[in-house]
Amino acid sequence: MKRLIIAIVLAVPVLLAGQSSPGLDPASILQPLAANWPTYSGDYTGRRYSALTAINRGTLDRIGLAWTTRFTAGAGPDGLGNGVPTGGRGGSAPVPVVVGGLGTGELNTGGPAAIRGSILVVDGTLYVSAPDNAWAVDARDGTVLWHYYWKTRGGTHTGHRGLGMWHGYLFMEMHDDYLVSLDAKTGHERWRREISDFDQQYFSSMAPVIVGDHVLVGTGDDLDAPGFLQSFDPETGALQWKFYTVPMKPGDPGLETWSSLDAARHGGAQVWVPGSYDPDTHLYIFGTGNPTPAYTVGRGEGDNLFTCSLVAVDVETGKMAWYFQTSPHDMHDWDSTQTPVLADAPFGGRPRHLVLTATRNGYFFVLDRVTGEHLVTTKFGSAANWALGIDEKGRPTRNPAKDATIPGSIVTGSTTNWPPPAFSPDTGLFYVPENNSYSIFYLMDPDPRGSMGLGGTQSAAVALAGNFITAIDYRTGKAAWRHELVGGGGATGLLATAGGLVFAGDGAGNLVGFDATTGDAIWHARIGDVSNAPETYELDGRQYLLTAAGDGLFAFVLNDESR
Amino acid sequence: MRFSRIVFATSIGFASAALVTGVNAQRGTPPPSAPATVPSPGRGPNFPQQQRALADPAVIARGRGLFGVSCASCHGHDLRGGDQGGPNLLRSSVTLTDQHGELILPIVHGARAANGMPPVPLPDADVIAIAEYIHSVLAEAGRQGRPPEADAPDPDILVGDAAAGRAYFDAHCTACHSASGDLKGLATRVADPRALQNLWVSGGGGRGRGAAAAGPPITVTVTPASGTRVEGRLVRIDDFVVTLIDGTGARRTFTRHGSDPAVAVHDPLAEHRQMVARYTDADMHNVTAYLVSLE
């Protein structure tokens, strides 16, 4: 009886919080992606496939710019957060800056924002992030509602990948290793929690993924520190579990694939891109990063588990259910962190629960996501030359001659990277940026102890070999179409829609709409270098197309024929 | 882990000053990093080890000497670990977290004896001097977890067979190049063999975004379905627009609608770049060994 009372007392604040700021019901993320964009990939499947159809092949020529807003990072001209002239080009009123963080403000004084992640869309409000900064924005006209600015202590400032939301609360990783929870209405900080050790040179930029009452966060590091995924309580910030992606103690699985426990504990496998979630199995499926040292000896000749792997973890317990290594003993810093796509689709004559991923090493994989059983491996990087073939488990077999060598080896570059792929259940096609290039990789530090981090090597880019958006048939792994991007750059992340369209930046300053079936470019707007994956949402019965280009957000809307 | 970190092949006088640009221009990645020897700006704020104030130089110098006497045999002269099993101190959570010896001192005095770290009977002040020396080395670490610059010379890349390289050159390159013509004195102009190899493999030209890079110009022929053919230097091309500068110096931009106008791009280095996919690494090393003889 006593225990029951305590349980009720503890539960009350949660209920009150939920009632006072309804915000986003986590269960709604389980719905097919349509009006809102409530999590990093839109929904948990990682498909970036919207059910909205108003913008389609027949109506695409009727979309036009609804609004654009430019964002300025930092505390503003007086450094105190007063009167920052942020907002729409139309001249929305300045908003005060809510300032947090433990730094002095000297390291990130501000300037044009770099918007390189997902934007949440929840009930008419957008939640936008850039390194050390977050904004709430009116989805109807781009007006900035509040601005949160974090004075950083430092850290490697990569692109920031976005926010997570649970009821009325937002969650944001900071590059100096804090997870911060904000009140979605005001931008005021609720709590902050250090999620990785800044002294060990971790840096954190992943968009938190909220599943039920779990805030899933990964972090990054280049200095030979172990990777991990953590789950926090969205209400209190308390740690629920921590899953290491490399062996940390004697007896841990995978230890035999390293030269020593010390090597494993310094082996990397960072978790810096969001994964996907299967509500049927409660498995969160995500990719892990490269081993360290990345380019040299120093970790034995084994596979170095669980680096460069697809890993399925039970979201309630943090225990691993299965793994599949997509790049055994990687020697090129080719993280396999790419967001996997979950698809329920026929395979081999029967419906299967699949997971699809196209990794940075140029290979495409299909697995059964319940069991981890391997089904398909193909090479989608048409030039990829680093592997000898595919082994009996479906893994590419590394060619050691294509490691960095002292006299130099000619090796293809990253075929794809963090920009997310998309998948349309209508076409059965998996859409992914495919970049082909050649570099000479030199080993600069032949020390038998190995180097550290990304050290010990130099590479020289020597030739382009074509950049594409490639549509892969998941059943065969073969390309149904490849659209070459002739402007010289590579594609951004992708969006697929039930309107039969695929959207992406083309690396040449255009936001482009492609026919999802043929790959034909049928619409574009030259808005500058698109810097995130396009998204779509619906408001007041009208479908919007949203993307970022540097410090600007651009919202296109389908104009009603009757207006 | 997350960037394209490609050192771009800078050419010096092979064809003309040029830069290979635009490779793997992933959105959201910073500009390609410079060689490790050149500090790369623009990577933003850094980590605590690079931010903290260092101890007095005299203390650091004393610590360096003490480290050499008492620590280097196990932890390595460069702190990266040694033959006798001492761990790498440049990536150790103890040294990375320690401020002024407070975490290092107890370990030196035996706190980890059970783990194989023997107690070293040094006075506290000496251990603190060693700790300050370690911090001074950590401050010199490179980006993305790279160790500090070593004194060691760059490894010699010349492993190829010059005679085989000459044979390859004669068979594949002489249609465009000549050892006594355009390549005369090449190894004098580009003295570093690695730079020379990067240069000849890349072709020294570039086709960056908008094809603005120097080198043999990329040209384009635009033929509208109804209209006159126009030729010129390519400025920019994508699926929707092509821009060129014609013979009079005028800038001409054409909207593209599928196959109208017909657009033909002529890249003088296209064949050179396609050859990269066909070189074996041995071919490359052999040709480099031959080209370094063209002084």
Residue-wise pLDDT tens digits, A327-337: 999 999 999 99
Interface test with A, best of B239, B265, B278 (most A CBs within 10 A): B239
Q: Is A461 on the interface with B (CB under 8 A)?
A: yes
Residue of chain B whose Cα is closest to the Cα of A116:
B28
Angle CA(A399)–CA(A402)–CA(A406) in degrees, nearest 5? Answer: 135
Assigned token pair, B75: 């932890």
Residue of chain B whose Cα is closest to the Cα of A223:
B145
Note the ipTM here. Answer: 0.91
Residue of chain B whose Cα is closest to the Cα of A334:
B1
Residues 180-239, chain B: which have Cβ within 8 Å of A?
A: 194, 197-198, 201-203, 207-211, 236-239
Residues 10-29, chain B: which have Cβ within 8 Å of A?
A: 20, 22-29
Assigned token pair, A116: 């390189």
Q: Taking the alpha carbons of B196, B202, B204, B208 in that order, is the dihedral positive or negative? A: negative
Nearest to B4 among A268, A293, A414 (CB): A414
Catalytic residue (choose from A224, A278, A333, A445)? A333
Are residues A486 and B239, on separate chains, in Cβ contact within 8 Å? Answer: yes
Assigned token pair, A171: 């969650």
DSSP-assigned states of every residue in A488-543: SS-----EEETTTEEEEE-SSSEEEEEETTT--EEEEEE-S---S--EEEEETTEE
Largest separation between any pair of C-alpha atoms in chain A? 75
Partners of A458 on chain B (C-beta within 8 Å) are 7, 35-36, 194
Q: Is A345 on the interface with B (CB under 8 A)?
A: no
How far lies B162's CA from each of A68, A438, B166, in Å? 60, 24, 6
Beta bridge partner(s), residue A389:
A397
Pairing of strands A144-150, A97-100: parallel
Angle CA(A147)–CA(A99)–CA(A97) in degrees, nearest 5? Answer: 35
Partners of A453 on chain B (C-beta within 8 Å) are 91, 142, 144-147
Chain-wide mean pLDDT for chain B? 84
pLDDT of amino acid B150: 81
Q: How far is B288 from chain A (nearest CA, A)?
A: 10
**A333: annotated active-site residue:** yes
Are residues A438 and B81, on separate chains, in Cβ contact within 8 Å? Answer: no
Q: How many CB atoms lie within 10 A of CB A82?
A: 12
Are residues A440 and B201, on separate chains, in Cβ contact within 8 Å? Answer: yes
pLDDT of amino acid A559: 83
- φ/ψ of A280, rounded to 5, equals -70, -40
Specify the residue for token string 């990375």.
B96
Q: Is B252 on the interface with A (CB under 8 A)?
A: no
3-state secondary structure A83-118: CECCEECCCCCCECEEEECCCCCCCCCEEECCCCCC
3-state secondary structure chain B: CCCCCCEECEECCCCCCEECCCCCCCCCCCCCCCCCCCCCCCCCCCCHHHHCCCCCHHHHHHHHHHHHHHCHHHHCCCCCCCCCCCCCCCCCHHHHHCCCCCCHHHHHHHHCHHHCCCCCCCCHHHHHHHHHHHHHHHCCCCHHHCCCCCCCCCCCCCCCCHHHHHHHHHHHCCCCCCCCCCCCCHHHHCCCHHHHHHHHHHCCCCCCHHHCCCCCCCEEEEECCCCCCEEEEEEEECCCEEEEECCCCCEEEEECECCECEEEEECCCHHHHHHHCCCCHHHHHHHHHHHCCCC
pLDDT of amino acid B3: 45
Q: Is B259 on the interface with A (CB under 8 A)?
A: no
Q: How far is A345 from chain B (nearest CA, A)?
A: 31
ω into residue A291 within 30 of 0, thus cis? no
Are residues A407 and B160, on separate chains, in Cβ contact within 8 Å? Answer: yes
Which regions of chain B are under pLDDT 70?
A: 1-45, 205-215
Are residues A440 and B155, on separate chains, in Cβ contact within 8 Å? Answer: no
Q: Taking the alpha carbons of A209, A211, A212, A217 in that order, is the dihedral positive or negative? A: negative
DSSP-assigned states of every residue in A342-404: EEEEEETTEEEEEEEEE-TTSEEEEEETTT--EEEEEE-STT--SEEEE-TTSPEEE-GGGS-
Partners of B150 on chain A (C-beta within 8 Å) are 445
Q: How many Å separate Cα B148 from the centre of its chain?
A: 16
Q: Is B38 on the interface with A (CB under 8 A)?
A: no
pLDDT tens string for chain A (563 positions)?
344 444 444 444 444 443 444 799 999 999 999 999 999 999 999 999 999 999 999 999 999 999 999 999 998 666 555 544 544 444 456 788 999 999 988 888 788 999 999 999 999 999 999 999 999 999 999 999 999 999 999 999 999 999 999 999 999 999 999 999 999 999 999 999 999 999 999 999 999 999 999 999 999 999 999 999 999 999 999 999 999 999 999 999 999 999 999 999 999 999 999 999 999 999 999 999 999 999 999 999 999 999 999 999 999 999 999 999 999 999 999 999 999 999 999 999 999 999 999 999 999 999 999 999 999 999 999 999 999 999 999 999 999 999 999 999 999 999 999 999 999 999 999 999 999 999 999 999 999 999 999 999 999 999 999 999 999 999 999 999 999 999 989 999 999 999 999 999 999 999 999 999 999 999 999 999 999 999 999 999 999 999 999 999 999 999 876 55
Q: What span, in angstroms and rounded, lies between the C-alpha atoms of B292 and A468?
A: 37
Residue A382, judged by CB atoms within 10 A of its CB (0-12, 13-18, 19+), counts as middle
Are residues B147 and A452, on separate chains, in Cβ contact within 8 Å? Answer: yes
pLDDT of amino acid B205: 53
Specify the residue for token string 């020294």.
B204
Partners of B210 on chain A (C-beta within 8 Å) are 487-488
Q: What span, in angstroms and rounded, lies between the C-alpha atoms of A91 and A99?
A: 23
Residue A428, judged by CB atoms within 10 A of its CB (0-12, 13-18, 19+), counts as middle
Q: Taking the alpha carbons of A173, A176, A181, A182 in that order, is the dihedral positive or negative? A: negative
Q: How far is B270 from chain A (nearest CA, A)?
A: 9
Q: Where are the alpha helices (DSSP H) in A232-351?
A: 261-265
Residues 394-413, chain A: which have Cβ within 8 Å of B?
A: 401, 405-410, 413
Residues 464-483, chain A: which have Cβ within 8 Å of B?
A: 464-465
pLDDT of amino acid A533: 98
Q: What span, in angstroms and rounded, lies between the C-alpha atoms of A240 and A237?
A: 9
Q: Is A38 on the interface with B (CB under 8 A)?
A: no
Q: Is A196 on the interface with B (CB under 8 A)?
A: no
Angle CA(B138)–CA(B144)–CA(B149) in degrees, nearest 5? Answer: 50
Residue of chain B whose Cα is closest to the Cα of A483:
B239
Residue of chain B whose Cα is closest to the Cα of A268:
B1
Contact between A360 and A352 under an 8 Å Cβ cutoff? The reply is no
Partners of A485 on chain B (C-beta within 8 Å) are 238
DSSP-assigned states of every residue in A124-191: TEEEEEETTEEEEEETTT--EEEEEEE-------------EEEBTEEEEE-TTSEEEEEETTT--EEE
What is the DSSP secondary structure assignment for residue A427, as one 8-state letter? Answer: T
Q: Is A80 on the interface with B (CB under 8 A)?
A: no
Nearest Cα neighbor of A505 from A485, A523, A488, A491 is A491
pLDDT of amino acid A94: 73
Nearest to A460 among B51, B198, B239 (CB): B198
Are residues A507 and B88, on separate chains, in Cβ contact within 8 Å? Answer: no
pLDDT of amino acid A88: 45
Assigned token pair, A157: 């400032």
Q: How far apart are the first and last CA of chain B?
A: 40
Q: Is B95 on the interface with A (CB under 8 A)?
A: no
ω into residue B3 within 30 of 0, thus cis? no
